[in-house]
């Protein structure tokens, strides 16, 4: 990994906002998912959540770009997803036109926050709305009553970024656990080796301060061998 690449990844890690996320409920168009993930990366979101439609559970190749930098957590139900988010003490905001909805700019996004976005055609389910803490809307004065889900997510997330920038949240330094920093340093700095490791279920090595790989000879040997030969390569020679 060259010094420029290492510096860029470390800077990205220092700006991540682990207490800001989005949750997609049955969003079913791959280009929308990809666009939302790209916006999440752009504003410093570390991980997002999704409840997949059936067709995406079978073919989840959507968003194969920013997925290298934004961790996607898949859930079997919206109830499960929101339960996980509430365990992290996040306020749950639902993008929904209702009598109790408030302008999205009136929300305090410096609090730990998860923003729910629903399916393109049907919006957020009644189950999710019942579990949300607050409905939010994007004011509109034209004939259209809603925006594309990826456009709506960008508007709301950049308001969250603006508030957090003013509050100094992007100057806090890296808040990610060390193992997550190491994962992203290896996957981002050595993508081909990371792919080999995943294909062989081989643990990632440690990345040093200069971006170097700190690994034993045994690890390098495993990287080169078929996993079926790992035990054989480390067994003592049989005496004649």
- Which two structure tokens, joined as six digits, stand for 144? 């259209």
Query: Per-residue pLDDT for 168 more than 60?
Result: yes
Question: What is the Cα–Cα distance from 221 to 104, expressed in whole angstroms?
Answer: 54
Query: Per-residue pLDDT for 202 more than 60?
Result: yes
Q: Is 95 annotated as a binding residue?
A: yes
Task: List, for residues 93-122, the tens digit of each pLDDT value.
Answer: 999 888 899 999 999 999 999 999 998 778
Q: First and final CA of the chain: distance in angstroms?
A: 45
In this structure, the strands spanning 213-214 and 206-207 are: antiparallel
- Which two structure tokens, joined as six digits, stand for 163? 């508030």
* pTM attached to this predicted model: 0.87
* CATH fold for domain 17-171: Alpha/beta knot (3.40.1280)
Question: What is the Cα–Cα distance from 158 to 237, expressed in whole angstroms?
Answer: 62
Task: List, for residues 15-53, the tens digit of each pLDDT value.
Answer: 999 999 999 999 988 889 999 999 999 999 999 999 986
Q: Is 138 annotated as a binding residue?
A: yes
**Mean local confidence (pLDDT), 60-83:** 81
Task: Specify the pLDDT at position 89.
Answer: 96
**Mean local confidence (pLDDT), 78-105:** 94
Window from 39-53, 58-72, 137-151 with minimum mean pLDDT: 58-72
**Mean local confidence (pLDDT), 159-183:** 96
The residue ranges of every structural domain in the chain are: 17-171, 178-234
In this structure, the chain runs to a length of 240
Task: Specify the pLDDT at position 58.
Answer: 44
Residue 91, strand partner residues: 113
């Amino acid at each position: 990994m060259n010094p420029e690449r290492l510096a860029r990844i470390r800077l990205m890690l220092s700006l991540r906002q682990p207490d800001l996320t989005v949750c997609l409920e049955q969003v079913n168009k791959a280009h929308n998912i990809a666009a939302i993930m790209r916006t999440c990366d752009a504003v410093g979101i570390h991980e997002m959540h999704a409840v997949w439609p059936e067709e995406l559970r079978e073919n989840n190749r959507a968003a194969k770009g920013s997925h290298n930098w934004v961790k996607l957590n898949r859930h079997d139900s919206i109830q499960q997803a929101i339960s996980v988010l509430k365990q992290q003490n996040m306020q749950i905001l639902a993008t929904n036109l209702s009598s109790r909805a408030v302008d999205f700019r009136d929300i305090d996004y410096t609090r730990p926050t998860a923003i729910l976005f629903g399916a393109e055609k049907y919006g957020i389910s009644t189950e999710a709305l019942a579990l949300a803490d607050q409905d939010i809307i994007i004011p509109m004065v034209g004939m259209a009553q809603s925006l594309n889900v990826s456009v709506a997510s960008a508007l709301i997330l950049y308001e969250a970024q603006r508030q957090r920038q003013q509050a100094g949240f992007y100057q806090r330094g890296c808040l990610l656990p060390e193992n997550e920093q190491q994962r992203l340093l290896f996957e981002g700095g050595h993508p081909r080796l990371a792919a080999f490791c995943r294909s062989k279920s081989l643990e990632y090595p440690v990345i040093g301060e200069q971006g170097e790989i700190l690994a034993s000879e045994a690890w390098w040997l495993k990287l080169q061998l078929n996993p079926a030969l790992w035990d054989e390569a480390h067994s003592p020679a049989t005496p004649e």
